[in-house]
Chain A
């Protein structure tokens, strides 16, 4: 792994940090009142993709497992949201969609683990999940009656029970923000649990975890299921923001998006995905805006720049933004400590 920066076990939240967190939450509750619709959409996307990034980090950062089919769950969540809300736009149908994506993700994650974990090896697992992702996307493209094929499936709002939560951009912003907070706490609790500790051990050396008495296959299956459910939920909430589902959300591009978010933010840091999502989403939007004002065709392909940026980041800041910050902080702390030791008068 590029970084060993990670959440520390048993770390009780300290008061100053809790105050800072409360202040940050307050800021994010107030600022949308002064935002335009486009900014609200961008922020909502950042929140949801951050959760999607975290779902990927559970696998990549905490288990060392590369899943190139993560978009299966994200895309299914988007479809589930659009299909159920198109039946009836109310909270009950949204809850039914959530229940369905939960069950589908648990089953899908379990089945995927049974297929993938038989292969052994990170590369083989990546290849198998890539193939699985493409199979699902192809099925979705041909199953036009349900998915709308390549044309996609728009969300038809009947403007009933869920107004303004789902029907206004401001409502959707708050919905996405609460979703981010809830999922961050849930996933944090998971990685700090004894199960999370075993996952980190597996990432470092699976054989060692086995001779400590852990059935590593079982733990990897748990990680895959948790990750799938989180990805599925983020897809479901994403459907409310984008109001549209198509097979792109099931494609490798969306899996790579999650990978990029995790790497840019810092693998194995969990919170890094929030920074990663902000950075990746913002830069994509920024480049598209620039294209609109300058009219340069090349700016229509933001992934070209994001990809180059990613290469630079991997070379110069392999631990990602949050990982880099912690490394810098550690370096500063060490420097301060050595300066203090040098200045201590001898007895």
Chain B
């Protein structure tokens, strides 16, 4: 079966610095895959490379058989890749509603239905629908960021450290929501919070110093305490 997302020996750089040296990864349709690794390992850079925000020097990067290398960010997004960045990426000076609507490619009944589903998934957003995004709490901002990436019929969702800086109770809510989302959408999650990674992911990849060093099923990783200690510091 052809993978939905395929990265092979990716080398990417920011200015004069090579950040990713050799990242390889595959995500098939319907999967929830987690990328783990220590701080500065290159996890976020890899998601940015997929989105065309960081330049690829060499390697194969394909989405549904089409190359993503040297494509512009908006072109990549329109292929059906939803991106939830680490810093939420929401527009503070727009309301929650405006943030949602700006993410919609079209305002047809199907999109509106998906928007309603997002609001059911995150009731907090429904309550704050008319409020400016800058007035939202960290958890609400993350919900808006994830919700916004769901209003279109994206084929894959790239989520970058959604648990970062959030209270445990919010992380639990988000993990539940991502689990729910992964039932209908392919998810590639970058996460440092092991509990959240376990709750959402079916398979994992570990990136270290810009290279993919380990991969397998989450069930195996949960059993392998040594691997956790070496690469994740758990």
Contacts and interface: CB of A to CB of B under 8 A. Distances in A.
B105 A207 contact: no
Interface string A1-17: 10010100100000000
Contact of B53 (A204, A207, A214, A216): A207
Contacts of B74: 210-216
Contacts of B152: 213
A55 interface: no
A198 to B, nearest CB: 7
Interface centre among A1, A194, A204, A212 (most CB of B within 10 A): A212
Interface in A1-58: 1, 4, 6, 9
B128 interface: no
A204 B83 contact: no
Interface string A174-195: 0000000000000000000010
Interface string A199-222: 011001101111111111000000
A197 interface: yes
Interface string A215-240: 11000000000000000000000000
Interface stretch (B86-94, B188-196, B209-217, B226-234): B86-94
A196 to B, nearest CB: 11
A201 B102 contact: yes
B101 interface: yes
Contacts of A197: 94, 98, 101-102
A211 B93 contact: no
Contacts of B118: none
A211 B72 contact: no
Contact of A212 (B92, B103, B132): B103
Contacts of B93: 1, 4, 6, 200, 204
Interface residues of B, number: 24
Interface string A95-106: 000000000000
A216 to B, nearest CB: 7
A212 B98 contact: no
B102 A198 contact: yes
B85 interface: yes
Contacts of B72: 210, 215
Given A200-B93, A204-B91, A216-B74, A211 B83 contact: yes
Contacts of B91: 200-201, 204-205, 208
B73 A211 contact: yes
B5 interface: no
Chain A: interface residue count, which band? 20 to 34
Given A205-B91, A207-B53, A213 B102 contact: no
B102 A205 contact: no
A201 B133 CA distance: 12
Given A198-B102, A200-B93, A200-B94, A212 B77 contact: yes
A216 B90 CA distance: 16
Interface centre among A194, A200, A201 (most CB of B within 10 A): A201
A293 to B, nearest CB: 46
B78 interface: yes
Nearest to A210: B73
Contacts of B132: 4
A33 to B, nearest CB: 43
B51 A211 contact: yes
Contacts of A210: 72-74, 77
A211 B89 CA distance: 9
Contacts of B90: 208
Contacts of B83: 211
B77 A211 contact: yes
A205 B103 CA distance: 14
A170 to B, nearest CB: 43
18 contacts: A9-B98, A197-B94, A197-B101, A200-B94, A201-B91, A204-B93, A204-B94, A208-B89, A210-B72, A211-B77, A211-B85, A212-B74, A212-B103, A212-B148, A213-B74, A213-B152, A215-B74, A216-B74
Given A201-B91, A210-B72, 4 more contacts: A4-B134, A204-B91, A210-B77, A215-B72
